[in-house]
Amino acid sequence: MKAYLGIDVGSVTTKLAVLDENNKLIAHTYLLTSGKPTAMVQQGLVQIKEHLPPDAEISGVATTGSARYLAGVVVGADLVKNEITSHATAALFYFPQVQTIIEIGGQDSKIIIIRDEIVTDFGMNTVCAAGTGSFLDHQALRLNMSIEEFSRRAMNHQTPVRIAGRCTVFAESDMIHKQQMGHRIEDIIYGLCQALVRNYLNNVGLGKEIKPPIVFQGGVAFNQAIVRAFQEELATEVIVPPHHEIMGAIGAALLAHEEMTGYNNRRSQFKGLDVSQIKYNTSSFECKACPNLCEIAQLQTDSQVLARWGGRCDLWERAPSEEAK
């Protein structure tokens, strides 16, 4: 049985999804990236191998997410795709009528506008992480509760407190202020969820025509309180797909399938599920060829450099296989 693997390596989590020939999800995994994208991809492959039916043969691989190039080299990807296209592909596959995708991950948030099954516009947060998962994590940690408890307790609000959500720093001091005033913690954290939603709509969603059906993807969609806050603010239903947290990986797998079976009928470059045996090193150096002093990152095994990137020009990208520097 042919199968297609999608790998989404984000800033906070690493997701892998395998689809069969009928695009049915047959295996998936969700790990914390913990700042070690290479090791986590390898670990993810080990887990996938355990879940995979024995007759499944990976016939195409695509990577996405902020470490898509790195992951692509590690596994031997057939396609490296940006996360916007991947998320849109997955959402369109399950919900062909979708007109708006809200995606909130660990460090970034996106909006994707779709009309007639085609992406017509998109936006990403630029300078601020006030509306992302990491911020919620941080606040939950500060209040000494797990993110699950945070979500559960926020749902128990009575009269939400208005929190200034424009900036994480202001939001935090405003929350502390409201705590010291004696507001209920449930009302404060739901107020924070509302602030995050307002911030998202006013920044990422600015100037975008948000029409239903709306699909909400990404790890933050686990948080029931955020979903509720979106529904209240937009006054419409917000659909959270069952596998919302791995939609990027599913989208990548769909794109891998399309890439490998379309007009080009290629052979997969995939290095196999046992790639976890290989030891990879990442390092970086400053290029001194010109005054730009670019920081060049490189991925290497013991014997050879596999890839380099990070330069303003393609001086180092051109010759990846020479001696390690």
Chain residues in the site for another protein (CB under 8 A): 22-23, 66, 81-85, 93-97, 116-122, 124, 126-127, 207, 241-242, 290-294, 312, 314, 318
Closest CB 113 distance from another protein, rounded Å: 10
Between 147-154 and 133-142, two packed helices, what is the crossing angle to 10 degrees? 90
Looking at the Cβ atoms of 130 and 192, the one nearer to another protein is 130
Contacts of 282 (CB under 8 A, 6+ apart): 38, 70, 297, 298, 299, 300
Nearer to another protein among residue 141 and residue 290 (C-beta): 290
User: Rounded to the nearest whole angstrom, what is the least distance from the CB of residue 190 to another protein in the complex?
Assistant: 28
35 alpha-carbon distance from chain centroid: 14
What are φ and ψ of residue 15, in 5° steps?
Answer: -125, 140
Name the minimum Å distance from CB 226 to another protein: 20
Spatial distance between the Cα atoms of 104 and 233, rounded to a whole number of angstroms:
16
- The CB-of-251 to another protein minimum distance in angstroms stands at 11
Give whichever of 7 and 189 is closer to another protein, judged by the CB atom: 7
Residue type at position 9: V
Of residues 82 and 283, the one with the C-beta less far from another protein: 82
Closer Cβ to another protein, 12 or 119, answer by number = 119
Query: Residue 102 pairs with which residues in a beta bridge?
Result: 111, 216
CA distance 242 to 147: 19
> Looking at beta carbons only, is 78 or 83 nearer to another protein?
83
Q: 185-203 and 168-181 helices cross at what angle (nearest 10)?
A: 160
Query: What's the min distance (Å) between Cβ of 57 and another protein?
Result: 19
CA distances from 35 to 14, 63, 67, 98 (A): 10, 17, 11, 33
Q: Nearest approach, Cβ of 279 to another protein (angstroms)?
A: 26
